[in-house]
């Protein structure tokens, strides 16, 4: 973090500028540096600092403080549970924790770091260990972000500053951003990607970082327009909600482009969103372990920008392999493997880096399915494990979702399994309609029939919902969607018996 912070400080010393615009107003670079200097003193040289990363000036000030002291920053969400924090604390073994007092109490930080608490950042508190540890244990890492593991235990992804710089440098170039441009961060900064393409990218550009404490599509459109934001990154659900809130008024026509990643979404739905917003949407692929490593260009035609996931960044290799590890060619779907300058150092385990499990030639299996095109673009076809097993037959969830999402009344759709005593699982669809009205099963199946999708893959239940369940960073929560579908299915079955 030191490199970006040094650049930010030199820029501010030459000429002060607005560095953050959040719910409390505008904050200058020099004011944030004053807060950062005071916080660095309160940290007393602590090396690895866990920070409650909310979408406010405090996250930027904390980043500056950790960078000034040459430390390592670990970001967590305020909604992190006590159990999740305990697991993260065990993996990271931080030297200090910075958070609001209520979070400190909820996470039992005083019991873990019993030293004296110090006030910081206008009402927050920092607690430090008595003997700070050497940050060399992170093997050159500067940022630790939490991501959900397959076991439900959060994993600390360790990234180097070189990885962050590579990811934002190519993002800046692809989107045509200029020094001093305002960028908006609407995804919670506690996620690795949001921090990289929000806080770190803004530090590099030396322009305003536009933030919101709470997600509100209409308010987001208004503030981005008012502040002259030129770019933002968000997940598909947010892009569609922004488009709905804009209602065709094109409030973001001053925004050069909007990067959308983090899950599958129908190209036609994205097209409607960008037309409503008045900007250009770029559908990308990336992950906490290998940040933002593909993107199309703003000049690409809509079917490429919105229907695929772009091209690998220069220096990044993304390939598809079969179950035996054989590299596949153009048009073949296989397991995605990646390597490049933004590949992570490893996971935080026992207070140090645990290197990732790579292939023999050094690539990281992402757990996704990918297909390449002749022009070098790629398309993520879904997760390897996103299947419903109905009577022994595997049904690709992503294939059904993409087909159902093309129905003109469908705004968002999530396909999930519901239990069945005979077949094991049946296919259900949670649907958010564009008009807010209910949707019949035969409307969906009739549309799938017209598309030529095999009847064996059709949903057998359709549940209209106001919104799809989301994670803390705004992505679709498939685990919560499955729970919701099971509840609605059980409720409907109970009503039918009555």
- Which residue ranges make up each domain of the chain? 2-372, 387-497
pTM of the model: 0.84
User: Rounded to 5 degrees, what are φ and ψ at 375?
Assistant: -85, 5
292: left (phi over 0), alpha (psi -120 to 50) or beta: left
User: Structure tokens of 386?
Assistant: 């996103």
Query: Looking at residue 152, what is its pLDDT?
Result: 55
In this structure, what are the phi and psi dihedrals at residue 455, rounded to the nearest 5 degrees?
-60, -25
pLDDT of 392 reads 65
pLDDT given at position 384: 76
Contact 418, 402 (CB under 8 A): no
Write the CATH number of the domain with boundaries 387-497.
Answer: 3.30.300.30
Across 427-461, b (16+ Cβ under 10 Å) vs e yields: bbbbbbbeeeeebeeebbbebbeeeebeeebbbeb
Report the run of H or E that residue 28 belongs to, with start and end: strand 25-28
Closest CA to 405 of 381, 431, 428: 431
d(CA 454, CA 379): 22
d(CA 235, CA 128): 35
Q: According to the model, what pLDDT value does residue 476 have?
A: 84
Cα 450 off chain centre by: 35
Q: Give me the sheet containing 141-148, strands edge to edge.
A: 117-120, 124-128, 96-99, 48-52, 72-76, 141-148, 154-160, 346-349, 352-354
Query: What pLDDT is stored for residue 292 in this prediction?
Result: 84
Give the separation between CA 421 and CA 133, rounded to whole angstroms: 55
- CA torsion through residues 278, 282, 286, 291, sign: negative
Question: Any idea what the Cα angle at residue 325 is, between residues 320 and 327, rounded to 5°?
Answer: 40
Run of H or E residues at 156: strand 154-160
Reading the block at residue 115, the tokens are 């030293």
Architecture of domain 2-372 in CATH? 3-Layer(aba) Sandwich (3.40)
pLDDT tens track of the chain, all 498 residues?
889 999 999 999 999 999 999 999 999 999 999 999 999 988 877 799 999 999 999 999 999 999 998 999 999 999 888 988 999 999 999 999 999 999 999 999 999 998 889 999 999 999 998 776 789 999 999 999 998 654 457 899 999 999 999 999 999 999 999 999 999 999 999 989 999 999 999 999 999 999 999 999 999 999 999 999 999 999 888 898 899 999 999 999 999 999 998 776 778 889 999 999 999 999 999 999 999 899 999 999 999 999 999 999 999 999 999 989 999 999 999 999 999 999 999 999 999 999 999 999 999 999 889 999 999 999 998 777 777 878 767 788 888 998 999 999 999 999 999 998 777 789 999 999 999 999 999 999 999 999 988 888 999 999 999 999 988 777 888 889 999 999 999 998 776 555
- As given in the structure block, the two tokens for residue 209 are 């970082």
pLDDT score recorded for residue 314: 96
């Amino acid at each position: 973090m030191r490199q970006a912070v040094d650049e930010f400080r030199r820029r501010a010393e030459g000429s002060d500028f607005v560095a953050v615009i959040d719910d409390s107003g505008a904050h200058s670079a020099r004011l944030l540096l004053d807060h950062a200097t005071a916080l660095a003193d309160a940290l007393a040289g602590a090396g690895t600092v866990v920070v409650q990363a909310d979408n406010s000036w405090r996250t930027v000030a904390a980043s500056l403080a950790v960078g000034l002291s040459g430390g390592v920053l670990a970001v967590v969400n305020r909604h992190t549970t006590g159990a999740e924090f305990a697991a993260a604390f065990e993996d990271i073994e931080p030297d200090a924790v910075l958070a609001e007092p209520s979070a400190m109490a909820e996470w039992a930080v005083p019991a873990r770091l019993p030293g004296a608490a110090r006030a910081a950042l206008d009402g927050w508190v920092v607690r430090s260990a008595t003997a700070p540890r050497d940050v060399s244990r992170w093997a050159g890492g500067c940022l630790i972000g939490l991501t959900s593991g397959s076991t439900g235990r959060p994993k600390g992804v360790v990234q180097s500053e070189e990885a962050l710089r590579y990811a934002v440098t190519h993002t800046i170039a692809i989107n045509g951003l200029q020094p001093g441009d305002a960028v908006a961060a609407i995804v919670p900064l506690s996620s690795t990607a949001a921090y990289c393409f929000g806080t770190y990218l803004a530090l590099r550009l030396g322009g305003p970082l536009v933030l919101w404490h709470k997600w509100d599509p209409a308010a987001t459109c208004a503030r981005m327009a008012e502040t002259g934001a030129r770019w933002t990154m968000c997940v598909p659900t947010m892009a569609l909600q922004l488009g709905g809130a804009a209602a065709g008024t094109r409030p973001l026509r001053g925004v050069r482009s909007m990067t959308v990643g983090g899950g599958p979404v129908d190209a036609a739905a994205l097209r409607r969103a960008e037309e409503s917003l008045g900007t250009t949407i770029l559908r990308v692929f990336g992950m906490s372990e290998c940040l933002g490593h593909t993107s199309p260009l703003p000049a690409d035609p809509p079917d490429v920008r919105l229907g695929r996931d772009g091209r690998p960044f220069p220096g990044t290799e993304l390939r598809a392999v079969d179950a035996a590890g054989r590299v596949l060619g153009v048009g073949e779907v296989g397991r995605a493997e990646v390597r490049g300058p933004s590949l992570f150092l490893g996971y935080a385990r026992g207070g140090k880096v645990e290197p990732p499990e790579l292939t023999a030639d050094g690539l990281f299996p992402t757990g996704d399915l990918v297909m390449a095109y002749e022009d070098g673009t790629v398309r993520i076809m879904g997760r390897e494990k996103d299947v419903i097993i109905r009577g022994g037959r595997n049904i690709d969830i992503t294939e059904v979702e993409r087909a159902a999402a093309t129905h003109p009344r469908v705004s968002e759709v999530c396909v999930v399994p519901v239990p069945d005593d005979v077949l094991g699982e049946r296919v259900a669809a949670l649907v958010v309609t564009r008009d807010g009205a209910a949707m019949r099963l035969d409307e969906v199946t009739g549309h799938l029939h017209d598309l030529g999708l095999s009847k064996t893959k059709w949903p057998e239940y359709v549940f209209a919902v106001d919104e799809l369940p989301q994670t803390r960073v705004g992505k679709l929560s498939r685990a919560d969607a499955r729970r919701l579908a099971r509840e609605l299915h059980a409720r409907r079955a109970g009503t039918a018996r009555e």
